[in-house]
Every structure is written in C-alpha cells, then in structure tokens.
Structure 1
Amino acid sequence: MNKQFAGKSALVTGGGSGIGRASALALAAEGALVTVAGRTAVTLKETVRLIEAAGGSARYVVADITDEAQVENAAQAATEDIGRLDLALNNAGYDGEYQLTTDYSTEMLDHMIALNVRGMFLSMKYELRHMVAQGSGAIVNMASGAGLIGVPGFSGYTATKAAEIAMTKSSSLEAAPHGIRINAVCPGLVDTPMIAALDADVRASLSASHPLGRIAQPQEIADAVVWLASDKSSFVTGIALPIDGGYSVP
C-alpha cells in the first residue's frame, strides 16, 4: 500500500509529547522521514523510538525555537537525507496559567510571546526558505481555539494565538505563488499530560464546556495535521481550522 508521504521529509517542533508526538507518529506512519525538534532530548528520543518501533524513520534535534540559530539548524537538519523540506508542523509553544489581566505576570506574557509568536515566526522563516527554493511544501501551525474567541483569565495566551493565526494568513499569501500552502489548526482542550493531571471535577467541567461533551484526543488533532499537510487538501491555504468539539461556535 502506497503511503502518501513516502519520500518526503517533515519537521515537527515541540515533537516530544502530546499533539506534537501524536502528529510526528502520524506523519511517519504515512511514510515521512520525520525530524522532531524541541528543548528536551529525553522526550524527543522517546518519540523517535516510538516511530522506529512502528516501522517509521525519524531523527531528533535539540532546539529552542526562540533562538534563531537553533531554529535555522533544525530546519537544515530536516533536509539532510533528501535535500528538501516538504512538510512542517510548528507545534512548540506555551500555554501559561490562568490570571486575570489586572494580575497578569509580565514575565509570563514575555515568555509566551517569545515562544508562541517569535518562535512560530522564526520557524516559518527558515522552513519557507527551503520550501521557496524547491517550489513546494506545506506548513501547519498549531494555533488554538482560544485565538478565535475570548477566554477570561487567558488574555495573553489568546493574544499570542490570534497573532499565530494572523501570521498564518499573511504568510500563506506570500507563499502561495511558490506552490506552498500554510494553514493553522485551532484545537480546543486536548487530553495531554497537563490536562490529565487536573482534578477529576475540573476535567469534567472542562469536558462539559465543549458541546460534544468531551475533550479531544491528541490523535484527533494529528489527523487534521496530516490532512492539511497532504495533497487531499491541495486547494486549502490560509485557514484557521477549529478542532474543538464546537467550543468556538458563536
């Protein structure tokens, strides 16, 4: 059976856990040679192990996406085997904590802007350099449903996620003449280790806030990433796709 990403290379930032790991596994299952990037070697190595155990191909590179030289190096590393970068998922980011705007930590906001805005900007900058040179590619940015609506207590987070969506739209217009598509996915709450650690009553309340009555599994977000990266979405660019069980519906 032919795999849709056979012979293609992919870069996944924040690939050591959660949605990033699920997406890296899903891209590899479709034949991509996946490079996972992030700040923690131990979790990245585990993602590579899982991919290889499933019969896929992967490598890892330690990179802080707020450091321009490290981002450039990660993008270059993803091209080493076949000389091109076909697919990218910019997933690394920072959620922060619940704080009212009047009490919002400036340090937390600065860190969030550095990771979510600067980090995604730098990632696209160097991914696009490779893709423009080769005349093709697909980028998926991990935004959030919080970038589409207001969320009390998360004004800084929503601002950075709205910025990610705006960057996606602007960059998609620049990239389109070069045969490159750029889209964003906007998850609601996802069953990641951070959510799993919450009190059961809190989890139940969060699940109830989604019209479908539950939160997403990482694989459900990964499935959307695969679709947006594939030729099955070949006429789709510049969108911010909610995957949130109806949470952002007005």
Structure 2
Amino acid sequence: MAPRIGVVTFPGSLDDRDAQRAIRLAGAEPVALWHAAHDLHGVDAIVLPGGFSYGDYLRPGAIAAISPIMTEVITAANAGMPVLGICNGFQVLVEAHLLPGGLIRNANQQFVRRDQRLIVENNRTAWTSEFAEGEEIVIPLKNGDGGYIANNETLKRLEGEGLIAFRYSGVNPNGSLADIAGLTNERGNVVGLMPHPEHAVEPGFGPDTPQAMRSGLDGLRFFTGAVKVLAQRV
C-alpha cells in the first residue's frame, strides 16, 4: 500500500495542488487536509505548502501556526511523523516552534523569484535522504519574507548540531543569516525550507539544466526519499 501524505490547505495557500501532484509523482497518495479540521485522516506524513496563509497578516505563518489543524500537526511531529514545510510552510513551522528562529522581509525589500542553487548540508532526514551531503541542487525560489534570522546562541547550536539542512549557493537571495535556506529538527523528521521543491518534479516544468530547458528534477527527491523512509516503517 502506498504511503499517504497529507497536504494542508490554509486560506491563501497557493501551492497545495502542486505539492499533491509531487506526492503522486513520487508514488504516494496525497490527502487533502483542511486548516479548520482536527483530523489528519491517518496520514503517514504531512506537507505544509507555500502561499500566503491568512493573507500573511501579523507575520507570515503566524495565524496559520495556531489554526486547528496545527494542533494535530504539532502533536504528530513531536511523535516523529515526517513534516515538510515549504516557503510559507517553513514560516508556519517556525511560528509553531517546531523549528527555531524567524523569517523576515527580504533584505532588498523585494519579492524574489529565481532558480536557486542550494548546498545540501544534512542528508540524514526523512526528506533529504536521497541527496548526498555537500551536493549542489537547483530548486525554484519565490518569496518576499525569506530572510532567516536567529540569535547567536541559536546559530551556534544549528551549526554545531548539524541542523542546517540547506544553504544558499552562489547568491543569498534574501539576506538569510549564515546563508540558511532550510533547517531540520534534532530528530530529523521536520524539515523546512524557503525554496519550492514541488516545482522541480516533472520534465518540462522545472529549472533549466545543461541538458535541456525546464528539465530540472531535483525537487522530486524530497518526496521519493520520504516515500522510501515511510515504506521502511510499514
């Protein structure tokens, strides 16, 4: 039986259907989860998608972090369920204190959209297991509030404990401290990143590569890796 991966839709989510398609292409069954519900429908993993949940009022992700479904997501994450937060989903994970630090307006005060090079710093998570440590990948990025911040003590802990999952390579597009593009928790089941792997899962729709235009598929490995991890648990 294929693993079932839930995708939460908040008011203002934009990339929930893209995440569902990525999950399907990876060989799992996507399950739509509604922000106002208290039911995870027995899923094996969860994706918090990109977008502008609740219009990004207060702070991006702040209202979504206290929505009814997040009570269940936090409980499941703390019990070890794999959770991936993409862009706005990363902001939600930070606001829900499942990952440390904060995300603020881009340093240039502009919305950034580009195919972004990343360095894989941690491949020991449910979502990064198909990458090699130190590998460079290309994932589309689109955000206005992607500047990662944390105090010096937190930054030292992230570095010392290997909790930085991805760093920006070549260009730091939003002023994130230490070039941080994504994080993992200590257990390795919760990962958040600002770039959008669900937009690099299908030929003809991903980033350009030296082989062909729009052929980049680096994002698919986030999902196929999680599917393999989940299959081992059955």
TM-score scaled to structure 1, two decimals? 0.40
Structure with the higher strand share, 1 or 2 = 2
The structure with the larger Rg is 1
Structure with the higher helix share, 1 or 2:
1
